[in-house]
C-alpha cells in the first residue's frame, strides 16, 4: 500500500531467529528454542521474519542435526507474518557454486514450504550471480529482495553502489537492501550513499541490514529512515547489538520520534526479550552488548560471526593469543586479494589465509584451493586486481582467468541426482543430497522432538532451575501452583 506524505511508515524485518544468533550464539539456536515464543513474535508487528540463511542451513545439518527444511516448513506454518529466507545466490547455503537447475529447485521448494520472500545476495556483488535466483523466485511466486553488500575500499564508492542498484532494478527485484555485515556504515557515509541509492532504485522499496560492531548502527538506521528507506532489519533486545543488528525496540523508538508510524507491539516485544534472556541464561549463551566504537574494525572488517568462530577455532588450537596478529594480517591479505567484501565465503578466505600466513610464519606458503579459484574469477568478477605477490605465489597465469557468468560453467545436476536417488525422491531430499555428502545427512533422519508452542515466565523459571546441576531441591509456589522438584 502506498502511503501519503505525513502518514509515512517504517517497518521491521526480524532477524532474531537467524542473523542475531548467527552472530552472538555461533548459529546454535535450535528449533526447540524458537517454537515456544512464535506466538509473541507473530504479535510483535513485524512486516517479515527472516528465518533462514546460509549459516543457519549449514549449522542445522552439521551441528544441530536438524533437517533445515523441516524448520522452514514448521516456522512458515506457525507464523502468520510472512517469512523471509536468505540465500547466497548461486552458492545457496554453501561455499561452492551450484548450477542454475539447483538454484531454481531451491526457489520452488521455498514457495512450497511457505516462504514468501527470497532474499538473495552475492558476496562479490556480481549480480550475474543473483539473476538465476530472481528469475526462479519470481517464477515460483516469491517476492525477491536483492541485497548489495556494503564494504569499505578504494573501489566501493557511491557510484559503484548506484551501478549495482541499477542492475537490480533491471532484474526486477521487489526490494533492494543494503547489507552491512560488519557494521562499517557511518552516518556520514549514509548521508551520501542512501539518497544516491534511493534515487537509482526508482521507487523499489529499500531495506537496511546493518550490524552493530562499531556501535553506530542505530544512528545509521536513523539516517536511512530520514532518507526514505522503508524497512529495517532488527533483533529482539537480548539478541541485538554487539556483532548482531540493532534492537527492534530502539529503532522503533527512533522511527516514532522522527514522526513515522510503526506496527510494533511493545508488550509482545517485552515478552520476546524476556523469553530469550531466559533461554540465554539456561543455555549459557551470551547476551548482545552495545559495542564501543573501535577504529580497528575499519581496518580488519571481520564480521562478528567470524570473530566468534575464529576465537573458538583458535581456542581449540590453543592459539587464542595470535588473534591480534591475525586481525592485523587480514587487511593486507584483503588488499592482495583485490578487496573482496568481508562476508561469507570471502571473509573465511581472508581469515583463513591470514591465519595460515601468521601461523606458518611465511605469507602464502599454503593457499587454499578456493582462494586460488576466487582469484581466477571462477566465483564472479573481482572488485580489483589481486597483487602480483599473490598471483605469483598462487601460480595464476592470464590464461587461467574466467570471464563467463559463474553459473555457465556448471552443467545441470538434477538429471544425475534423480537417476541416482530415484524418480520419487522429494525435492527437499534431492537438494540436501546436492549440498551434502550422504553421511552428513544420516543424523537428519532422527525424529524431531515434540516442540512446545507456548510458554510462560513460570515455565521458563522451572526450566532454568531444571537446567542447573547444582540444585537438588526446588519448590515454587505461585498463584495457586505449588511445585516441588528434587534431584
Partner 1 sequence: MRKDNLTYEDVLRIVELVKTTRFSEFRLKVGEIEVHLKRKNGAGGDPVVLHGQPASPGEAAAPARPTAERSFPAGAVLVRSPMVGTFYRAPAPGAEPFVEVGKHVDADSTVCIIEVMKLMNSIAAETRGVVTEILVPNGARVEPGDVLVVIEPDPEDG
Kindly state whether residue 154 participates in binding partner 1, applying the rule CB under 8 A: no
Nearer to partner 1, 285 or 300 (CB): 285
Nearer to partner 1, 94 or 186 (CB): 94
Query: Closest distance between partner 1 and the C-beta of residue 369, in Å?
Result: 5
If we measure between CA atoms, which residue out of 78, 75, 85, 80 comes closest to residue 109?
A: 85
Residues 42-71 that bind partner 1 (CB under 8 A): 62-63
Whole-number CA gyration radius for the chain: 23
Kindly state whether residue 487 participates in binding partner 1, applying the rule CB under 8 A: yes
Kindly state whether residue 309 participates in binding partner 1, applying the rule CB under 8 A: yes
According to CB under 8 A, which one of 46, 161, 349, 390 is a site residue for partner 1?
349
Query: Closest distance between partner 1 and the C-beta of residue 383, in Å?
Result: 20
Query: Closest distance between partner 1 and the C-beta of residue 35, in Å?
Result: 17
If we measure between CA atoms, which residue out of 25, 33, 76, 26 comes closest to residue 52?
A: 76
Per-residue binder mask for partner 1 (CB under 8 A), 408-447, x = binder: -----------------------------xxx--------
Please give the span between the terminal C-alpha atoms of the chain, in angstroms, as a whole number. 57
If we measure between CA atoms, which residue out of 213, 214, 218, 176 comes closest to residue 197?
A: 176
> Are the beta carbons of 103 and 133 closer than 8 angstroms?
yes
Residues 15-34 that bind partner 1 (CB under 8 A): 25-26, 28
Q: Which stretch binds partner 1 (CB under 8 A): 120-128, 283-291, 297-305, 426-434?
A: 283-291
Residues 72-131 that bind partner 1 (CB under 8 A): 95
If we measure between CA atoms, which residue out of 224, 231, 227 comes closest to residue 205?
A: 231
Tell me the number of residues near partner 1 by CB under 8 A: 62
Kindly state whether residue 457 participates in binding partner 1, applying the rule CB under 8 A: yes
- The set of cell numbers assigned to 104 is 531454481
d(CA 225, CA 302): 26
Kindly state whether residue 352 participates in binding partner 1, applying the rule CB under 8 A: yes
**What phi and psi, each to the nearest 5 degrees, are found at residue 261?**
-90, 145
Nearer to partner 1, 282 or 335 (CB): 282
Nearer to partner 1, 159 or 476 (CB): 476
Query: Closest distance between partner 1 and the C-beta of residue 42, in Å?
Result: 18
Kindly state whether residue 323 participates in binding partner 1, applying the rule CB under 8 A: no
Any idea which residue has 542498484 for its cell?
Answer: 165
Any idea which residue has 544441530 for its cell?
Answer: 64
Kindly state whether residue 401 participates in binding partner 1, applying the rule CB under 8 A: no
According to CB under 8 A, which one of 4, 5, 295, 479 is a site residue for partner 1?
479
According to CB under 8 A, which one of 163, 169, 433, 461 is a site residue for partner 1?
461
CA 302 to chain centre: 14
> Are the beta carbons of 229 and 206 closer than 8 angstroms?
yes
d(CA 97, CA 95): 7
- The set of cell numbers assigned to 229 is 528507506
Query: Closest distance between partner 1 and the C-beta of residue 340, in Å?
Result: 14
CA 414 to chain centre: 27
To 10 degrees, what angle do helices 323-336 and 346-360 make?
120
> Are the beta carbons of 181 and 149 closer than 8 angstroms?
yes
According to CB under 8 A, which one of 299, 325, 328, 370 is a site residue for partner 1?
370
- The set of cell numbers assigned to 388 is 602480483
Q: Which stretch binds partner 1 (CB under 8 A): 151-159, 199-207, 215-223, 344-352?
A: 344-352
According to CB under 8 A, which one of 44, 74, 273, 396 is a site residue for partner 1?
273
d(CA 239, CA 289): 9
The SS3 of residue 384 is: coil
Kindly state whether residue 475 participates in binding partner 1, applying the rule CB under 8 A: yes
CB atoms within 10 A of CB 456: 11
Do β-strands 117-121 and 83-87 pair in parallel, antiparallel, or remain unpaired? Answer: parallel
Kindly state whether residue 397 participates in binding partner 1, applying the rule CB under 8 A: no
Q: Which helix (H) or strand (E) holds 231?
A: strand 231-234
According to CB under 8 A, which one of 47, 201, 330, 356 is a site residue for partner 1?
356
Kindly state whether residue 400 participates in binding partner 1, applying the rule CB under 8 A: no
The sign one gets for the Cα dihedral 233, 235, 236, 237 is: negative
Nearer to partner 1, 167 or 460 (CB): 460
Which residues bind to partner 1, rule: CB under 8 A?
25-26, 28, 62-63, 95, 270-271, 273-275, 277-278, 281-285, 309, 312-313, 316-317, 345, 348-349, 351-352, 355-356, 359-360, 365-366, 368-371, 437-439, 456-458, 460-461, 464-465, 467-479, 487
Amino acid at each position: 500500500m502506498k502511503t501519503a506524505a505525513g502518514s509515512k511508515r517504517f517497518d521491521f524485518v526480524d532477524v532474531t531467529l537467524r542473523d542475531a544468533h548467527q552472530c552472538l550464539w555461533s548459529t546454535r539456536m535450535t528449533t526447540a528454542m524458537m517454537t515456544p515464543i512464535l506466538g509473541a513474535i507473530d504479535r510483535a508487528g513485524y512486516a517479515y521474519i527472516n528465518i533462514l540463511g546460509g549459516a543457519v542451513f549449514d549449522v542445522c545439518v552439521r551441528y544441530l542435526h536438524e533437517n533445515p527444511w523441516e524448520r522452514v516448513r514448521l516456522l512458515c506454518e506457525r507464523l502468520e507474518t510472512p517469512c523471509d529466507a536468505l540465500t547466497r545466490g548461486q552458492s545457496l547455503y554453501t561455499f561452492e557454486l551450484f548450477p542454475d537447475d539447483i538454484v531454481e529447485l531451491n526457489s520452488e521448494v521455498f514457495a512450497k514450504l511457505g516462504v514468501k520472500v527470497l532474499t538473495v545476495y552475492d558476496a562479490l556483488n556480481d549480480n550475474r550471480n543473483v539473476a538465476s535466483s530472481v528469475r526462479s523466485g519470481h517464477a515460483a511466486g516469491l517476492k525477491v529482495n536483492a541485497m548489495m553488500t556494503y564494504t569499505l575500499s578504494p573501489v566501493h564508492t557511491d557510484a559503484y553502489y548506484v551501478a549495482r542498484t541499477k542492475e537490480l532494478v533491471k532484474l526486477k527485484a521487489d526490494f533492494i537492501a543494503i547489507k552491512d555485515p560488519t557494521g562499517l556504515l557511518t552516518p556520514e557515509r549514509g548521508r551520501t550513499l542512501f539518497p544516491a541509492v534511493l534515487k537509482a532504485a526508482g521507487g523499489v522499496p529499500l531495506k537496511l541490514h546493518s550490524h552493530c560492531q562499531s556501535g553506530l548502527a542505530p544512528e545509521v538506521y536513523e539516517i536511512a529512515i530520514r532518507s526514505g528507506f522503508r524497512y529495517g532489519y532488527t533483533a529482539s533486545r537480548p539478541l541485538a547489538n554487539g556483532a548482531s543488528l540493532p534492537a527492534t525496540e530502539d529503532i522503533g523508538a527512533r522511527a516514532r520520534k522522527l514522526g513515522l508510524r510503526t506496527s510494533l507491539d511493545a508488550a509482545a516485544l517485552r515478552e520476546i526479550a524476556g523469553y530469550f534472556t531466559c533461554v540465554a541464561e539456561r543455555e549459557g549463551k551470551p547476551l548482545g552488548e552495545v559495542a564501543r566504537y573501535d577504529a580497528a574494525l575499519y581496518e580488519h572488517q571481520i564480521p562478528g560471526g567470524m570473530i566468534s568462530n575464529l576465537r573458538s577455532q583458535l581456542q581449540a588450537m590453543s592459539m587464542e593469543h595470535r588473534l591480534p596478529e591475525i586481525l592485523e594480517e587480514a587487511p593486507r591479505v584483503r588488499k592482495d586479494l583485490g578487496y573482496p567484501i568481508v562476508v561469507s565465503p570471502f571473509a573465511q578466505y581472508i581469515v583463513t589465509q591470514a591465519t595460515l600466513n601468521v601461523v606458518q610464519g611465511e605469507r602464502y606458503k599454503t593457499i587454499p584451493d578456493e582462494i586460488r579459484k576466487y582469484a581466477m574469477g571462477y566465483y564472479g568478477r573481482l572488485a580489483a586486481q589481486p597483487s602480483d605477490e599473490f598471483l605469483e605465489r598462487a601460480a595464476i597465469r592470464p590464461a587461467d582467468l574466467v570471464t563467463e557468468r559463474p553459473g555457465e560453467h556448471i552443467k545441470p545436476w538434477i538429471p544425475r541426482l534423480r537417476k541416482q536417488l530415484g524418480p520419487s525422491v522429494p525435492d527437499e531430499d534431492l537438494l540436501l543430497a546436492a549440498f551434502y555428502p550422504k553421511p552428513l545427512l544420516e543424523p537428519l533422519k532422527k525424529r524431531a522432538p515434540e516442540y512446545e508452542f507456548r510458554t510462560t515466565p513460570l515455565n521458563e523459571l522451572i526450566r532454568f532451575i531444571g537446567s542447573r546441576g547444582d540444585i537438588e531441591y526446588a519448590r515454587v509456589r505461585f498463584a495457586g501452583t505449588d511445585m516441588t522438584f528434587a534431584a
